[in-house]
Amino acid sequence: MSSEVVFSVLGFPGDVESVLLGRKGVIKGIKSGATVVDMTTSSPALAVRVESSMKSKNVLSIDAPVSGGDIGARTRTLAVMCGGTKEGYDQVFPILRVFASDVEWFGSAGAGQKTKMSNQILIASIMIGTVESLLYAERANLDLKKVITLLSNGAASSWSLSQLGHRMVNEDWEPGFLIKHFIKDIGIALADASQIGLKLKRLELASQFYKEAQKMNFEEKGTQALFQVLRALNKS
């Protein structure tokens, strides 16, 4: 493999392990001096293992998960959270800036993934608050488009409300970010939090709601489909 930089964006930690470290993985053919950038939202511990394995081949490894969804990808306004050596980060920074508006290095291998977990912990609860708010507004016979526009300009403003709220109104459940991937992320966050002695009760409650979506066969839909789940759970 002649590439100087190899990017991977996969679904689950098992995919990362297979594609990067497997029997026919990147590690088998990558050249010495190259850099691997894994942009999958994955396990911090796996990011450490990938770096250790790549180091044996004289290859730098950066964990660089992203936030911003399909909208951020189309508008090149993604946020990228990086972990790994500063040397590796400095090498790939100009490439990351081509499609991301915010790129930051947070420390050693796994730090990018831990930052993404902070992001997902926050979003998990924000999304539930968003769908509860909009379902209330719907049941109160308010104009949802006006509600979203007004709330997006006040203290309740959030990316989930301003970007995904309108998809809910338009009954657009197609994924910008798959529910099944968010369930995966919550699992990683809860496991890593446990490793550092944290009990995240609110995230545990959020996990139950996302798993309810999975039971209703919404796992291949976008996270805005949680609105449908809450509707179903609150049928009058």
Mean pLDDT of the chain: 94
What are the helix (H) ranges across 56-164?
69-75, 86-99, 111-139, 144-151, 159
Check whether 236 has a pLDDT greater than 70. no
pTM here? 0.91
Residues above pLDDT 90, as percent of the chain: 91
Please determine, for residue 2, whether its predicted confidence score (pLDDT) is greater than 90.
no
Q: Are 30 and 59 in contact (CB under 8 A)?
A: yes
pLDDT tens digit sequence for 176-221: 889 999 999 999 999 999 999 999 999 999 999 999 999 999 999 9
When pLDDT is cut at 50, 70 and 90, the band that residue 1 belongs to is low
Q: What is the mean pLDDT of residues 9-34?
A: 95
Catalytic-labelled residue, pool 55, 86, 114, 116? 116
Contact yes or no for 218/225 (Cβ under 8 A) = yes
What digits encode the pLDDT tens for the residues 58-99?
A: 999 999 999 988 888 899 999 999 999 999 999 999 999 999
Burial zone of 139 (CB within 10 Å; 0-12 exposed, 13-18 middle, 19+ buried): exposed
Structure tokens that stand for 58 in this block: 């004289």
- Average pLDDT (30-55) is 97
Q: What is the mean pLDDT of residues 139-146?
A: 96
Domains and CATH numbers, the chain: 5-109 (3.40.50.720), 114-233 (1.10.1040.10)
Average pLDDT over residues 122-151: 95
Beta strand spans in the chain (E): 5-8, 35-38, 60-63, 66-67, 78-84, 100-105
Q: Could you tell me the maximum CA-CA distance found in the chain, to the nearest angstrom?
A: 63
Active site residue 24: no
Q: What is the mean predicted confidence (pLDDT) over 101-127? A: 96
Q: Residue 3: what pLDDT?
A: 87
